[in-house]
Structure 1
């Protein structure tokens, strides 16, 4: 059983949020399901990300560094996948916060990019393979 079952995110403009999230979530292998006043993406029937519209218009965008959301990191299988997802997100209207690169402060293996949508929601695509076993 996964520790995280689902994540709900509130966005300022639901149709715009769907337009920005859908290409990214589908590229990550999630399947979309529309509902009344929300949309959800599922993967392996275990993980769900849900977008909801703001209850009050004009309350966004979220400001990074304020109390609340920081970012969600998606672990992927390669640096090339980080690059591919970053490009898909930019084409869907996300803004690059940090282009793909090695973040050596974590490790020389940690390759990631950070993007932000119109509602100030920040996500990361990251690849951090385990260290190679020493040769005998």
Structure 2
């Protein structure tokens, strides 16, 4: 059986991107295991590592959402309050709100999420979608 081991993300400036990612990843339970000019990465037990790498061609960013390639990375959290808290942490770290936290009934009747982008156009979704029997 194959499992996802790690996710590499290309950015224009690793230290700047690391500074934006770290507060969000820390709030999601990840620990920054390495941080340097040439790459950075985070770990969380039982989860894939997340790595940042520098662009081979400086100044080729930001990524444009909707083009071929990266779409977004979604993190499921335990409550709507956690979505709201992570949204604030991301904004404080310099992320831009693509969509403020709100319900998305087109996904599921209890789906609540926010979408954020960093300076590189990397988009994250923080979402809560409790099972139907959770009330």
Same fold? TM cut 0.5: yes
SS at match of 2:133: coil
Query: Where in structure 2 are there 5+ consecutive unaligned residues?
Result: none
Give the number of aligned pairs.
134
Larger radius of gyration: 1
After superposing on structure 2, the runs of 4+ consecutive aligned residues of structure 1 that deviate more than 6 Å are: none
Cα offsets for 1:55-112 (capped at 9, x unmatched): 1101100000000000000000000000000000000000000000000101220000
2:42 is matched with 41
1:85 is matched with 86
Superposition TM-score, scaled by structure 2 size: 0.93
State the Cα distance separating 1:2 from its structure 2 match. Answer: 7.5
Q: CA RMSD in A?
A: 1.8
CA distance in 2, matches of 1:95, 1:21: 12
Superposition TM-score, scaled by structure 1 size: 0.93
Conserved? CA contact 2:18–2:35, under 8 Å: no
Query: Where in structure 1 are there 5+ consecutive unaligned residues?
Result: none
